[in-house]
């Protein structure tokens, strides 16, 4: 499992758990390899963890233009 370091923490990146983004997928990141403790998302475009989420379901990377639009994308995909 891939790891990245951010703010002194090691995060485990689940490459098989992704949300579609405008530039690249957002991957789910966990505190541990066993995937019990979910941390949030990691940007697949810049590999950064500086991600903002809002209650509308939007996911926005603060370090690059990658972003996931809210629900209408999901409706088209599921």
Binding map of Zn ion across residues 31-50, x = CB under 5 A, - = no contact = ------------x-xx-x--
Q: Which of 9, 33, 63, 74 binds Zn ion (CB under 5 A)?
A: 63
**Least distance between Zn ion and beta carbon 47 (Å):** 7
Q: Which residues contact 36 (CB under 8 A, 6 or more apart)?
A: 30
Cα–Cα distance list, 21 to 29, 41, 43, 59, 74 (Å): 15, 11, 9, 8, 11
Instruction: Tell whether residue 62 is a contact of Zn ion (CB under 5 A).
Output: no
Q: Contact residues for Zn ion (CB under 5 A)?
A: 43, 45-46, 48, 61, 63-64, 66
């Amino acid at each position: 499992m891939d790891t990245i370091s951010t703010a002194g923490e090691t995060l485990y990146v689940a490459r098989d758990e992704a949300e579609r983004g405008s530039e690249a997928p957002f991957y789910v990141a966990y505190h541990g390899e066993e995937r019990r403790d979910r941390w949030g998302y990691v940007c697949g475009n810049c590999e950064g963890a500086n991600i903002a989420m809002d209650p509308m379901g939007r996911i926005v990377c603060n370090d690059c233009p990658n972003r996931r639009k809210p629900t209408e994308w999901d409706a088209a995909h599921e």
